[in-house]
A = this chain, B = another copy of it.
Amino acid sequence: MLEYYGNPDKSRLPGLLERPTSGNEDVIRSVDEILSDVREHGDEALLRLAERFDGARPDSLFATPGEFAEAEALVSPSLRKAVDEACSNIRRFHEAQLPKGEVVETQEGVVCSRRIVPIGRVGLYVPSGTAPLFSTVLMLAIPASVARCRDIVLATPAKNGKVNPAILYAAKVAGVHRVLKVGGAQAIAAFAYGTESLSPRDKIFGPGNRYVSFAKLRVSSFVAIDMLAGPSEVMVVADRSSDPVFVAADLLSQAEHGNDSQVVLLIREDEAEAARIYSEVRGALSGLLEELPRADFMLRTLENSVAISYPSSEDILYAVNLYAPEHLIINTSDCDELLEGVENAGSVFLGPYSPESAGDYASGTNHTLPTSGWARSSSGVSTDSFIKKITVQKLTRKGAGLLAPTVMEMAAAESLYAHRKAMEVRTCR
Question: Of B97, B249, B342, which contacts A421 at CB under 8 A?
Answer: B249
Alpha-carbon gap, A416 to B356, bound state (A): 12
The stretch among A26-34, A46-54, A304-312, A343-351 that forms the contact with chain B is A343-351
- Asked whether A378 is an interface residue with its Cβ less than 8 Å from the other chain, the reply is yes
Is there contact, CB below 8 Å, between A353 and B135? no
Alpha-carbon gap, A89 to B6, bound state (A): 52
- Asked whether A420 is an interface residue with its Cβ less than 8 Å from the other chain, the reply is yes
Is there contact, CB below 8 Å, between B131 and A415? yes
Is there contact, CB below 8 Å, between B86 and A96? no
Could you tell me how many residues of chain A have their Cβ less than 8 Å away from some Cβ of chain B? 124
Query: A376: nearest residue on chain B (CB-CB)?
Result: B202
Is there contact, CB below 8 Å, between A417 and B292? yes
Residues of chain A from 274 to 289 with CB closer than 8 A to chain B in the complex: 288
- Return the CB mask of A77-100 against B: 1 if under 8 Å, else 0: 011011101101110110011010
- Asked whether A1 is an interface residue with its Cβ less than 8 Å from the other chain, the reply is no
A380 / chain B contacts, CB cutoff of 8 Å: 391
Interface centre among A86, A403, A405 (most CB of B within 10 A): A403
- Asked whether A418 is an interface residue with its Cβ less than 8 Å from the other chain, the reply is yes
Is there contact, CB below 8 Å, between B89 and A110? yes
Query: A252: nearest residue on chain B (CB-CB)?
Result: B418
Is there contact, CB below 8 Å, between A348 and B391? yes
A395 / chain B contacts, CB cutoff of 8 Å: 351, 353-354, 358, 363
Is there contact, CB below 8 Å, between B351 and A394? yes
- Asked whether A392 is an interface residue with its Cβ less than 8 Å from the other chain, the reply is yes
- Asked whether A133 is an interface residue with its Cβ less than 8 Å from the other chain, the reply is yes
- Asked whether A393 is an interface residue with its Cβ less than 8 Å from the other chain, the reply is yes
A102 / chain B contacts, CB cutoff of 8 Å: 93, 96-97
List, sorted by A's number, 22 A–B pairs whose CB atoms are closer than 8 Å. A81-B409, A89-B112, A93-B102, A93-B112, A104-B364, A112-B363, A114-B382, A135-B414, A245-B425, A246-B425, A252-B422, A253-B422, A288-B421, A292-B417, A293-B417, A344-B388, A345-B390, A347-B391, A348-B392, A353-B397, A361-B410, A380-B391
5 closest A-B pairs (Cβ-Cβ)? A106-B364, A224-B377, A82-B409, A353-B400, A249-B422
**Footprint of B on A, CB under 8 Å?**
78-79, 81-83, 85-86, 88-90, 92-93, 96-97, 99, 102, 104, 106-107, 110, 112, 114-115, 117, 119-120, 130-135, 166, 202-203, 217, 221, 223-224, 228, 243, 245-246, 249-250, 252-253, 255-256, 288, 291-294, 298, 335, 339, 342-366, 374-380, 382, 384, 388-397, 399-400, 403, 405-407, 409-411, 413-423, 425-426, 429
Other A-B pairs, 7, CB within 8 Å; known A117-B342, A203-B377, A335-B394: A82-B410, A85-B406, A93-B102, A166-B413, A256-B419, A357-B423, A379-B389
